[in-house]
Structure 1
Amino acid sequence: MEEIASVETGLPPAPGAQRYLSLALANSSVALPGGHSVDLLGSPAAANEWLSERDLAPAGTDLREMCAGQLRVLREQVRALFASRAAGLPALPAAVSALNDALTRVPSAPLLHWDDTTGPYRAAPHPTTQVVEHALATLAADAADLLTGPDAERLTACGSSPCNRFLLRHGRRHWCSTRCGDRARAARAYTRRRAAD
């Protein structure tokens, strides 16, 4: 599920990203050392791959740039909400509105369909335009659940610059990966050595 992120960024999934799709969404744009970055939603094909790996869209869905753009916009709003929660600051009203808009854009129940051969069944409609709306609603609901649930107290930003990922803190750990933790410890040791000299 998260192997693509691992290959492209060199980082394992942040703690909690396998449990919360919204955390994986927030971390789909990664700032790397040396001014580099990776955007796992940077193109319609990449966004489609990201969604299909998480069972949020059928494989081979022909997403357009507008749909990929909607996903990136939701990501930024989710990141803003996570940053507010992690810092203990009030949320931006626009971010709350964007999340609520995504939540209410699609029907909450699968619709009734009737096949002449097999009879009635319920399913969510999935023409290409609605695939993204259903994915956005699912991601928004996941973010709302994380922000209002018991794990919200553990939500934090990675404490290693320039990393911009979020994670669910375990104990005192404030880093999304061993690599970020090593980088932060090395920076502190360097600062102590310079101060001693």
Structure 2
Amino acid sequence: MQEFVIEEPAPPPAQGEEQHLSLALANSAIVMPGGHTVDRLGTPAHTNRWLTERGLAPVDAGMLEMCAAQLRSLREQIRSLFASHAGGLPALPAALTAINDAMTRVPTAPLLRWDDKDGPYRATPHPTTEIVDHALAALAADAADLLTGPDAERLTACGSTPCNRYLLRHGRRQWCSTRCGDRARAARAYARRTQPKAE
């Protein structure tokens, strides 16, 4: 079982996170050397901060655990789609359904409600729920745009174990950060030194 660490500094954003919020969401749980995970959505407060930093929620949105859980769930579905795309594999139907549901769940007008005592009325959802629904829709739409747009061919997984982040490949670069690149080069050098010589 993985240990989740919340306050450890994470590496800098991976290539493409600034252009694609869905890539930043996919990378918001980072497996660090040693096997522990830094989860930027680990608590409602951390989720609120993450959304606020990306312009998806006000500072005082008041996220609840249910809201954070919805974001973490969407993150896993987006990660599943990114893994399928990067690996050239078919997408899981549940992941496609989750993305499409998130994109279409945001009401464009106050919905009609019915109260047994007072009759019909129109109302918008709870403000925090509405903020989360809009954030989920924006993140899902961005994932759909990334997977169907010109950047899709550059989407790849970081090539350094144990890193689990995704990036948009730039040239031959296969790593999400300098740290991961250094670790991958060191591992290759070590493997070359320790391989038995062919006679």
Q: CA RMSD in A?
A: 1.9
Percent identical: 72
Q: Which residue of 2 aligns with 1:183?
A: 183
Give 3-state SS (helix, strand or coil) of 2:22's partner: helix
Give 3-state SS (helix, strand or coil) of 2:195's partner: helix
The answer to whether the 8 A contact 1:22-1:140 is kept is yes
Q: Which amino acid aligns with 1:88?
A: G
- Whether 1:80 and 2:68 are equivalent positions in the alignment is no
Q: Which residue of 1 aligns with 2:129?
A: 129
Q: Deviations over 1:4-61 (max 9, x none)?
A: xxx8434110000011000000000000001121000000000001001111011111
Structure 1 runs not aligned, ≥5 long: 1-6, 112-123
Q: Deviations over 1:120-153 (max 9, x none)?
A: xxxx987111110000000000000000000000
Q: TM (normalized to structure 1)?
A: 0.86
The 2-side partners of 1:150 and 1:188 are apart by 32
Q: Deviations over 1:50-91 (max 9, x none)?
A: 001111011111111011000000000000000101111100
The 2-side partners of 1:10 and 1:48 are apart by 17
The answer to whether the 8 A contact 1:102-1:140 is kept is yes
The answer to whether the 8 A contact 2:10-2:30 is kept is no
Q: Which residue of 1 aligns with 2:26?
A: 26
Number of aligned residue pairs: 179
Q: CA deviation at 1:196?
A: 4.2
| Residues 187 and 85 of structure 1: CA distance in aligned 2, closer, same or farther (over 3 Å) | same
Structure 2 runs not aligned, ≥5 long: 1-6, 112-123
Give 3-state SS (helix, strand or coil) of 1:33's partner: coil
The 2-side partners of 1:40 and 1:102 are apart by 20
- Whether 1:38 and 2:38 are equivalent positions in the alignment is yes
Give 3-state SS (helix, strand or coil) of 1:34's partner: coil
Q: Which residue of 2 aligns with 1:103?
A: 103
The answer to whether the 8 A contact 1:9-1:30 is kept is no
Larger Rg: 2
| Greater share of helix | 1
The 1-side partners of 2:196 and 2:45 are apart by 52
